[in-house]
Amino acid sequence: MNLLTILTFLPPLVIILYIIKSDKFPEPINNILWVFFIGVFLCIPAIYLNGFFISDIRNSYFAGITEESLKFLAFIFLIKKNIEFNEKMDALVYGVLISLGFATYENYSYVYLMGFSDPHFVASMRMFGAIPLHAMCGVIMGYYLGIHYFTQNNNCLLKALLIPISIHATYNYLTDFGGLWFIFIFILFFFVKPLHKEFVMDQLKKTSEAEKKTRE
């Protein structure tokens, strides 16, 4: 395995492993693979939609709308309807899986298919930018969807869509302004980490996975 392959595929897989291992009641491997590859296949409609909306690289923030909307719709209509949810952490885990399935193929396409003169540099920059961005958007989406399905908070379904869209669009916009994207990712981490920790701590209080849903 060469360095470029490691830089391309290892970062999203490490984050996935971390999230899976942080789950006190791990999800079945078939569900994990199913959701990951849903994320991979979402790249196909995303390519067409981004091609339609982004005619100029300066409009790349539109990708935040198309890509996060596709993940959200896939979660609601494919993942939620086909996978049993037993607790809030399930939504967070699957949110990260679908996001990093998408990001893994996107990483492959940037590094291997787009013909950049220095693919090692591209892979390295994406390791600190686009990959954690997708992961953190997945945490946010999963966090609010988990609350939506297991509590009485009616605003969280909208937050699960609009907050990741806003974050993703902002990141893409900032990539035109030097290293501001890195500062944005750094700050975002301190917003997202407590969301994941909240669900982890909630699990530590439980002896079984099941929670009572307030809505289907």
Q: Which residues of the chain have pLDDT under 50?
A: none
pLDDT of residue 83: 81
Question: Is 216 inside a domain boundary?
Answer: no
Question: Is 56 inside a domain boundary?
Answer: yes
pLDDT of residue 139: 98
pLDDT of residue 2: 94
Contact of 101 with 37, CB cutoff 8 Å: yes
Q: Say what the pTM is.
A: 0.94
Question: Is 158 inside a domain boundary?
Answer: yes
Question: Is 211 inside a domain boundary?
Answer: no
Which residues contact residue 209 at a Cβ distance below 8 angstroms, ignoring those fewer than 6 apart? 24, 25, 86, 87
Question: Is 209 inside a domain boundary?
Answer: no
For residue 200, give its domain range: 3-204
Question: Is 63 inside a domain boundary?
Answer: yes
Token code pair at residue 145: 């969807």
pLDDT of residue 21: 96
Q: How many domains are there within the chain? A: 1
pLDDT of residue 176: 86
Question: Is 212 inside a domain boundary?
Answer: no
pLDDT of residue 192: 97
Question: Is 181 inside a domain boundary?
Answer: yes
| Integer Cα distance of 35 and 101 in angstroms | 8
The backbone region for 165, taken as left when phi is positive above 0, alpha when psi lies in -120 to 50, beta otherwise, is alpha
